[in-house]
Structure 1
Amino acid sequence: MSGGLGPLPWGYVRRFGRVVFRQQQWKSTVSTHPKMPPCDFVPEKYKSYPYERIQKIREQNISPSLRMYYKKPLLLHQGHMQWLFDYEGRRYLDLFAGIVTVSVGHCHPKVTVATQKQLARLWHTTNIYMHPSIHEYAEKLASLFPDPLKVIYLTNSGSEANDLAMFMARLHTHNFDIISFRGSYHGGSPYTLGLTSIGPYKHGVANGFGCSTTMLPDVFRGPWGGRHCRDSPVQTLRKCSCSKGVCHANNQYIEQFKDTLNTSVPKTIAGFIAEPIQVQTGFGRTGSHFWGFQTHDVVPDIVTLAKGIGNGFPMAAVVTTKEIANSLAQNLHFNTFGGSPLACVVGAAVLDAIEEDGLQKNSRDVGTYMLLELAKLRDKFEIVGDVRGKGLMIGVEMVTDKHSRHPLPAEEINQIWEDCKDMGVLLGRGGLYNQTFRIKPPMCITKKDVDFAVEVFHTALQRHMERAAK
């Protein structure tokens, strides 16, 4: 453990500079491997380059900025719904879904069939011509938005969509400055890097002029809020001055936003951009609503979509009002690949799969179940500081102890992460200090999968405590 005290032989709690030892001693009760749920899918035999050659090509020919997960990086070969298979046929439960892009499942049959049919018919023409799929998809996507959000621009990535949204806001308002939350991620392009507020993404070169940040309402790590302040099945354990159903912290964070308006930007701004929850929230993943902004009872002027929009296919969109769209139409704006026949068919098939497979309801039911199960681990382990989320978008923040909320050291988080992978569960990582496990699986995941994943995580945490006790 950290703090200069050396390894501690028991679970512990730091209080006011002292260490209070619990009576419970950690015993070796860890099973070798939790049992993985059955899967009747059989992957094809891997026939490509050997692992060592793949690794060498990666080192010599692929940008070193594209960092890989795990000490021994995974060489993945095939996917089926919530499962991934490596080159040796090992199966993994994917709880990160290609950084939250695989919404309905890897190689979902409905999406795959629709894509194959379009591949044989027409790949690409550019949107200077009409073709049925862009119009069918635009109508279907627009029907899911409230008025007046009915005009759609199709792009190739989330960064491009946010870039275009910034441009549209500036054109329409004739102002320049844009505000985002601290800790947010809005893309890695030179334009959007000004909105992205996470240190490791900053490269020390000029970018994103006219972008300012304001304080994120964080009821676990921020200065205000606590156990009565979340719209979530699981609340933080942090003490709170708010009464149930009345969040006083809300007003404090609003005052901070007003302070930003009064000190950091001109009197008029082009826009304020925010993730409804500081991760990807669309396409039914929150469970309660189809779009994250609907949970806040607001209708934005512009909405950007990416990640789950194409189930892993590279596409994104900007949805706005006719009035704002007309501001961009005063001059030429063109995107060669945005809205290709293939992309639009994929996007439409994803929307169909979400509806036909009941994936929004599944996100609500299975996601709530998982949140509550993970909250039990938070209550059991001192290093699990916070469990938060809604639907199938969950964060588990790791700390040295719940009182200080100091991030758990990277080497300790890494080992827990590696143990989960070795037992067959793939987790994401995030947070300002990379201290939060990100759990955003394909929305087809089942409660049996959740039981397995929670058991794996529980086992990894127990192993961590045993290592600390030696």
Structure 2
Amino acid sequence: MAPRKILDPSKLGQAFRTLSTLNSTAKPATQNAMPECSFLPPAYKGPDYDKITDIRKKNLTPNIVSYYKKPLLIHSGHMQWLFDHDGKRYLDMFGGIVTVSVGHCHPKVNKALEEQVKTLWHTTNIYMHPKIHEYAQRLTDKLPGDLKQVYFVNSGSEANDLAMLMARLHTGNYEILTFKNCYHGMSPYTMGLTAHSTWRFPLPGVSNGIHHVMNPDPYLGIWGGSACRDSPCQTDRKCECNSESGCSAASEYYKQLEQVFKFSLPRGKVAAMFAESIQGVGGTVQFPKSYIKKAAELVRANGGVFIADEVQSGFGRTGEHFWGFEGHGIVPDIVTMAKGIGNGFPLAAVVTTPKIAECLGQALHFNTYGGNPLASSVGLAVLDVIKEEKLQQNSLEVGTYFLKALEDLKQKYDIIGDVRGKGLMIGIEFVSDRVTKTPLSVPHVLEIWESCKDLGVLFGRGGISGNVMRIKPPMCVSFEDVDFALTILETVLSDYHIKKQRSWNRNIRK
């Protein structure tokens, strides 16, 4: 792919630093870096900002935490753009936490929902309605092998919750394996799967039968090198891999997994192993090549099923494949999916084989809203848009370009310790020391993150230390959008570097 010219942040001027000019109606000549958008948001008619803030404090539970020092009051969305209550425009590079897959308020998805609203809202599955059947066939047609039966739910937590139940019922085993640094949900059941202390409450029984195994992280883990990841970007570590023995890091991490089977599992038996194809909340962590395939084989050899969590990595986001697990060369026994499946509409699913699905016949099991006519209509439209607008291909091309450009930024700014990902699932790990990989402290990360927002670009954050910038935009983003995001990021990093240098100089003079 031919290199594209990135705008020079030094030419943007002080006016470029004022967010008030980055809106849908006013754009001075110095603001040409922000791509054009012909959409005009409707006028905001809700409660004023202070009233909203007061309601949030008094009437919403305190665990609902807002991004940014002064939280945004988002009023309208269009494709890759978000607009606040004042009409200011932002480039959304986080997609509602990797949830908006084809674009905010995509016209075709909106139309499908509107038409269904006029026809039938809800019946539950005690009656048949056409949309759930049309969608079930279309969705399972996208999956390989015998993954042909689907159960619809409303969220990723519900999907993983059900997958746990199915795995234990089907196998007759109880123990479940997940990786340290993983995120699989926050229901009381799935909280045990999640291995992030920040997402866990001190409740008894949450982790019963669940084992968190060593995370095979080529950047921060014990083993890893410069050829271990399935990514355009690799770590700076020396690599021990060779064509004959394959990935050395994968082999070493696999030995650690074998130790869990040997010492921690009753008779070595297991019900299931869960794995995100690329860890999302954990900071876009990728596993060494061939590790997941070996792990799945080990799990099955010991009576278990392998469960692929595609909540964030599915539906074409990784570019090369429609499903993230395809990049690992496996066909899972169970696949869970949510977020991008409905472009923000409450929709999720568990897909498995007919043989495994039989276990749910042991008792009644019911989800009131799962597969309702509205959600099924939205799901069908999302599949149509991904195909018609070639968004998987766009994820590959635009995402690869983005990753390569971020790798160039890494060479210029030593606070970037690692750039990783595939397609439009990207992470940037900020460090205070590249050699020790010490995470950049949260106040400094927040300074960078807030400054990007002030200049019109919304990124996410993640990682156990909160030092990873998560980039997972709607898959409709363009090269021009990426150029703008890169310009903003380089402007902010340049300013940060200058401030740090001045601080050092002052300390030396003292």
- TM category (shorter chain) comes to over 0.9
- Taking structure 2 as the reference length, the TM-score comes to 0.86
Distance change in 2, residues 1:145/1:92 (3 Å): same
Query: Which amino acid counterpart does residue 251 of structure 2 have in structure 1?
Result: N
Mapped to 1, the partners of 2:455 and 2:242 lie a distance apart of 42
Matched with 2:251 is: 251
Mapped to 2, the partners of 1:233 and 1:242 lie a distance apart of 17
Mapped to 1, the partners of 2:243 and 2:399 lie a distance apart of 23
1:176-215 paired onto structure 2 within 5 Å: 176-206=174-204, 207-215=206-214
Distance change in 2, residues 1:238/1:30 (3 Å): farther
Matched with 1:94 is: 92
- How much has 1:247 moved relative to structure 2? 1.4
Query: Which amino acid counterpart does residue 217 of structure 2 have in structure 1?
Result: D
Query: Which amino acid counterpart does residue 261 of structure 2 have in structure 1?
Result: L
Matched with 1:332 is: 364
Matched with 1:229 is: 228
Whether 1:438 and 2:503 are equivalent positions in the alignment is no
The CA deviation string for residues 56-90 of structure 1, in whole angstroms up to 9 with x for no partner, is: 00000001101110000000000000000000010
Matched with 1:276 is: 277
Matched with 2:53 is: 55
Distance change in 2, residues 1:468/1:30 (3 Å): farther
- How much has 1:445 moved relative to structure 2? 0.2
Identity %: 55
- How much has 1:265 moved relative to structure 2? 2.0
- How much has 1:208 moved relative to structure 2? 3.2
Matched with 2:500 is: 468
Matched with 1:356 is: 388
Q: How many equivalent residue pairs?
A: 444
Whether 1:390 and 2:388 are equivalent positions in the alignment is no
- How much has 1:29 moved relative to structure 2? 7.8
CA contact (8 A) 1:400 1:406 kept: yes
CA contact (8 A) 1:283 1:309 kept: yes
Query: Which amino acid counterpart does residue 264 of structure 1 have in structure 2?
Result: S
Would you identify which runs of 4 or more consecutive aligned residues in structure 1 move more than 6 Å?
A: 27-30
Q: Which protein is richer in helix relative to its size?
A: 2
Helix, strand or coil: the match of 2:52? helix
CA contact (8 A) 1:194 1:209 kept: yes
Mapped to 2, the partners of 1:286 and 1:264 lie a distance apart of 34
CA contact (8 A) 2:452 2:492 kept: yes
Matched with 1:371 is: 403
Matched with 2:156 is: 158
Query: Which amino acid counterpart does residue 199 of structure 1 have in structure 2?
Result: S
- How much has 1:31 moved relative to structure 2? 3.9
Query: Which amino acid counterpart does residue 321 of structure 1 have in structure 2?
Result: T
Helix, strand or coil: the match of 1:385? strand
Mapped to 1, the partners of 2:88 and 2:433 lie a distance apart of 35
- How much has 1:113 moved relative to structure 2? 0.4
Unaligned runs of 5+ in 2: 1-8, 17-30, 281-311, 503-510
Mapped to 1, the partners of 2:154 and 2:174 lie a distance apart of 24
Mapped to 1, the partners of 2:227 and 2:145 lie a distance apart of 32
CA contact (8 A) 2:334 2:352 kept: yes
CA contact (8 A) 2:10 2:491 kept: no
CA contact (8 A) 2:140 2:149 kept: yes
Mapped to 2, the partners of 1:435 and 1:390 lie a distance apart of 19
Helix, strand or coil: the match of 1:400? strand
CA contact (8 A) 1:364 1:391 kept: yes
Whether 1:261 and 2:293 are equivalent positions in the alignment is no
Mapped to 2, the partners of 1:281 and 1:409 lie a distance apart of 28
- How much has 1:139 moved relative to structure 2? 0.5
- How much has 1:263 moved relative to structure 2? 2.0
Mapped to 1, the partners of 2:67 and 2:423 lie a distance apart of 25
Which one is further off, 262-271 or 252-261? 262-271
- How much has 1:147 moved relative to structure 2? 1.9
The CA deviation string for residues 274-309 of structure 1, in whole angstroms up to 9 with x for no partner, is: 011112210000110101111111111100000101
CA contact (8 A) 1:137 1:348 kept: yes
The CA deviation string for residues 304-335 of structure 1, in whole angstroms up to 9 with x for no partner, is: 00010100001100000000100111211111
Matched with 1:289 is: 321
Mapped to 2, the partners of 1:94 and 1:238 lie a distance apart of 32
The CA deviation string for residues 324-363 of structure 1, in whole angstroms up to 9 with x for no partner, is: 1001112111111101000000000000000001000000
Matched with 1:115 is: 113
Matched with 2:130 is: 132
Mapped to 1, the partners of 2:83 and 2:326 lie a distance apart of 36
Matched with 1:302 is: 334
Matched with 1:428 is: 460
Q: Tell me how large the CA RMSD over aligned residues is.
A: 1.3
Matched with 1:312 is: 344
Helix, strand or coil: the match of 2:433? coil
Matched with 1:77 is: 75
Distance change in 2, residues 1:244/1:53 (3 Å): farther
Mapped to 2, the partners of 1:301 and 1:243 lie a distance apart of 31
Query: Which amino acid counterpart does residue 270 of structure 2 have in structure 1?
Result: I
CA contact (8 A) 1:287 1:362 kept: yes
The CA deviation string for residues 427-446 of structure 1, in whole angstroms up to 9 with x for no partner, is: 00000111100000000000
- How much has 1:244 moved relative to structure 2? 6.7
Whether 1:418 and 2:450 are equivalent positions in the alignment is yes
CA contact (8 A) 1:305 1:318 kept: yes
Mapped to 2, the partners of 1:329 and 1:283 lie a distance apart of 29
Distance change in 2, residues 1:221/1:31 (3 Å): farther
Mapped to 1, the partners of 2:109 and 2:226 lie a distance apart of 41
Whether 1:404 and 2:423 are equivalent positions in the alignment is no
Whether 1:449 and 2:481 are equivalent positions in the alignment is yes
- Taking structure 1 as the reference length, the TM-score comes to 0.93
- How much has 1:217 moved relative to structure 2? 1.2
Whether 1:216 and 2:248 are equivalent positions in the alignment is no
The CA deviation string for residues 221-245 of structure 1, in whole angstroms up to 9 with x for no partner, is: 1011111111111111222222379
| Residue of structure 2 aligned with 1:347, choices 379, 391, 411 | 379
Query: Which amino acid counterpart does residue 98 of structure 1 have in structure 2?
Result: G
Which one is further off, 298-307 or 197-206? 197-206
Query: Which amino acid counterpart does residue 82 of structure 1 have in structure 2?
Result: Q
Helix, strand or coil: the match of 2:178? strand
